[in-house]
Amino acid sequence: MNALFPYKYETHCHTSEVSACAVSSAAEIVSSYAKAGYSGIIITDHFFNGNCNINSALPWQVKVELFCLGYENALKAAHKLDLKVFFGWEYTYKGTDFLTYGLDKAFLLNNPDLLTWPLELYFKKVHQAGGFLIHAHPFRERDYIDKIRLFGNKVDAIEVINSGNDKKIYNERTLAYAQQHGLLQTAGSDTHNANSLSGEGTYFPIKLKSIHAFINSVKSGECYISVIGS
C-alpha cells in the first residue's frame, strides 16, 4: 500500500445469490472484507450471459430483481459497518468479460432487449447512460474462452491485476498492454469465496462515497495499484 492512498476497494467480487461459481453469500463477503480492512467493495456478479444461477426462462423483470439480490443483500449486511458497497456486474461476450459500473437496476429494467445487443451496441448504450467499462482479465486463457479479444480505448480501463488468474503471465501481459496503449488500470481479487481473500484491490487517497466517485477517481488518475513485482 502507498501511504498517500490508504483506502482500499475491491473492484471485482461475486456472491452465491447470483453467481453460480461463488460459494459465499453477500453477507459473508461483506464480513470478510470489513475484517480485512477494505474501505469498500463493488459487487460484480456474473450477468445473465455469464455464469449466472438465475433461470433464463423467467420474465425479464423477475430476473433483474433476482440479479440485484447479491448487491442488495451486501448493502444490508454493510449497513452498520465501515464498509461501502457499490453495484456493478460482469457482462460476458463469448468468454470475454467486462466489469460494468455506474448504472443501476433501473437501467436493467428499462432495457429488456439488452441481451440481443451486439457488443459494440452494448458499449455504446452503457457509455450513453454514463456507465464505465473495465475489461476484466483480458489475457486469461481457459477452455471456455475461444480467443483473446482486445478493445483498446473502446473500454475505459483494464484490470491489470486479477487474483483469479492462475498464471502470473496473464497479469504481466495485461500490464504491458495497458502501459503500451496508455490505458487506465485497476486491480481486483475476482473473489468467489469469503474465506480466501487475496488482498488485491485499488487504492484511493480519500474514502469514496459512491460508484461515481470511484469512476471519477480512476478517470483522473487519483488511484494506486501495486503493480507486478512491486
Spell out the domains of the chain, with CATH numbers in brackets.
7-220 (3.20.20.140)
Query: Would you state the pLDDT for residue 229?
Result: 47
Query: Would you state the pLDDT for residue 144?
Result: 87
Query: Would you state the pLDDT for residue 166?
Result: 85
Within 47-173, strands assigned E span: 84-93, 96-101, 132-136, 157-162
Residue 147 neighbours by CB under 8 Å, 6+ apart: none
Judged on CB neighbours under 10 Å (0-12, 13-18, 19+), 213 is middle
Residues (pLDDT < 50) of the chain are 229-230
Query: Would you state the pLDDT for residue 228?
Result: 57
Query: Would you state the pLDDT for residue 30?
Result: 98
Using DSSP's 3-state secondary structure scheme, residue 62 falls into helix
